[in-house]
Structure 1
Amino acid sequence: MLSDRSYMRSEYSRGGTTPAYVWLICAIVAMFVLELVVLSPKLGGAAILVQELSLTVEGVREWHLWALLTHSFLHSTSSPWHILFTVSGLIFAGRELEPLLGAKRFLWLYAGMVLLGGLVWTAVNWTHGTGHIGAGSAVFGLLVVLACVHPQMEMSFFLFPVQFNIRHIVYVLIAANALGLLLYEIPGTLLPLGMTPSAHLGGMLAGWIYFRYLHASHGLDRAGGLQLPAWLRRWPKWRASSAGSSPRIPSPNLRAEVDRILDKINSQGFGALTDQEKRVLDEAKDLLSRH
């Protein structure tokens, strides 16, 4: 039914289409299994693969620049919490943001957060850094974008029943990582659980830059809950219909047209829609609300 489509409800379910964030999770889990295999005592020589993909200052000095991205697919094999945090963060943020951004823009944003996080980590640890792995920079960055797009969203931590506003959580994460950067990472002291605040802050900075300078410029703020008042949104539609500038699509063809538009949103994001396509969605939504 038309009302089952993602534009008409909050859940993101597109039959036959696997979201990009799910493919990212599959790649991360597959790489984690590969790490467990190649790092076993029986295959000690194969550990060179993990070393080549990890981000190290020495590697950057030798122009192993691919590690600025590939390190995000590696996670600690000594503690399950590292990969569990990444997977849970991708599920939480990905299912909210990918329908809004589109798969391609979501992947570019993810890569940009990983890249900037890696660059910031390299700069901070240039004289004393050992190595860095994990996609924490992307997870923290996605949380920043999510807090900007849905500032009133509530979330809970795992088994804790208490709900927290996502903006407050982001503020706490920024403060905690800033303290870790100043008190531990810059002086060259190892942090508990091998945390890397500089990479996290770099990813969060990338998320803020994206929302501040790119998100609204593509018209995506309309789909993110930052909308004009209802009376002001109705006025342009009334004016357009009275002037006859937007022809009304016959009802038998409406569902097919909406399906096409929603496929376009899924592949290119909401910002790629024309004004006419947005009016078609508004018309379909109005029809559903009356039936």
Structure 2
Amino acid sequence: MGLENRGYMQDEPSFFGGPSSGSADRLIITIIIINVVVFLLQNMSVTVGEQVTYWLMLRNQELFQGQIWRVVTYGFCHGGFFHILFNMFNLYIFGRLLSQSMKTSEFLAFYLVAIVVGGLAQVVVNFGFDAIVIGASAGVSGLLLLAAMKFPRMKLLLMGIIPIELRWLAIGFFVLSLLSAGNTASGTAHAAHLGGAVFGIAYQYFHWNLSSLFEGRESVSKLKGIFSRKPKLKIHTPTGPSKKQVQLNEEVDRILAKIHEEGEASLTSKERKTLEKASKQYRQLNK
């Protein structure tokens, strides 16, 4: 498997067109803007706000009538200022953390599927209750668990004060969501949080590539094998490598291990240049 198959090494058209490094940063900002615009529409006036919320929210009654778009659109409207502030802040933090290792199309697919899975989980719990679901929490929960699995020892400041490793934050969040999933009276969609979190775990464990399912003629076979766990990626040089090439490959593997443990932000300028050099060499060999 070559370097170009690693997420952060892939060239991906930017969300707004033009060349890009493959980062989903612009997409994250776009998602935040869409959420803010919808929130403003929700609060523009009583009449407009009620209509916007009604047509975007997720509720079993409308869903069972065939209004299937709601399993996605509910994730773009919110119930109050602090609701959207908390979700968009965490979307930005965990999204930026993952953006350098995911193509734009892959990030979008992951985020939307996490919202759908979380929404469906809440639909099951809400069966028999007239409860509505709104908010991006399921998508954000998926990002949190995925980030924790990729960078478990990365430290964050909880509430801006308490240092905590990402893995412990994710475990605490997961346990809380699991214990509260059946509580329909709390006003919080814990089952949606749990659904998004479980999807994030499964995505990393099985090494899924969602955007590739719809590319090329092999889509059906890819879809059939989605639950087959893929082996970890390793650098492969088809012909006898030189001593320098072997050393470069070993250094790249060391850097990738560092990214896994500490996050992409921990890289030094020298390590970033090494990754760029390795990427250029591989592309030249495959021209």
Shift of 1:215: 4.4
Task: Give the alignment partner of residue 74 of structure 2, picking from 71, 94, 102.
Answer: 71
Q: State how far apart, in whole Å, the 1-side matches of 2:52 and 2:276 are.
A: 48
Alignment correspondent of 2:26: 19
Native 8 Å contact 1:215 1:221 kept in 2: no
**TM-score, structure 2 normalization:** 0.67
Map 1:1-291 to 2 at 5 A: 19-37=26-44, 40-41=45-46, 44=47, 47-77=50-80, 80-160=81-161, 162-182=162-182, 184-185=183-184, 190-191=185-186, 194-215=187-208, 240-242=240-242, 280-281=278-279
Shift of 1:61: 1.4
**TM-score, structure 1 normalization:** 0.66
Structure 1 segments (4+ residues) deviating >4 Å: 215-222, 243-246
Amino acid at match of 2:205: R
Cα deviations by residue, 1:73-116 (Å, 9 ceiling, x for unpaired):
00013xx2211111111111111111101111000000110000
Residues 129 and 166 of structure 1: CA distance in aligned 2, closer, same or farther (over 3 Å) = farther
Residue correspondences, number? 219
Q: State how far apart, in whole Å, the 2-side matches of 1:278 and 1:159 are.
A: 34
Residues 240 and 35 of structure 1: CA distance in aligned 2, closer, same or farther (over 3 Å) = farther
Structure 1 portions without partners, runs of 5+: 1-5, 8-12, 223-227, 247-276, 285-291
SS in 2 for 1:76: coil
Q: State how far apart, in whole Å, the 2-side matches of 1:207 and 1:21 are.
A: 17
Amino acid at match of 2:134: I
SS in 2 for 1:241: coil
Structure 2 portions without partners, runs of 5+: 1-7, 10-19, 210-227, 247-274, 283-287
Q: Which has the larger radius of gyration?
A: 1
Cα deviations by residue, 1:35-81 (Å, 9 ceiling, x for unpaired):
111xx24xx2662232011000111111111000000000013xx22
Native 8 Å contact 2:153 2:165 kept in 1: yes
State the percentage of identical aligned residues.
23
Structure with the higher helix share, 1 or 2: 1
Native 8 Å contact 2:41 2:52 kept in 1: no
Residues 159 and 122 of structure 1: CA distance in aligned 2, closer, same or farther (over 3 Å) = same
Residues 35 and 107 of structure 1: CA distance in aligned 2, closer, same or farther (over 3 Å) = same
Amino acid at match of 2:207: L
Q: State how far apart, in whole Å, the 2-side matches of 1:221 and 1:96 are.
A: 21
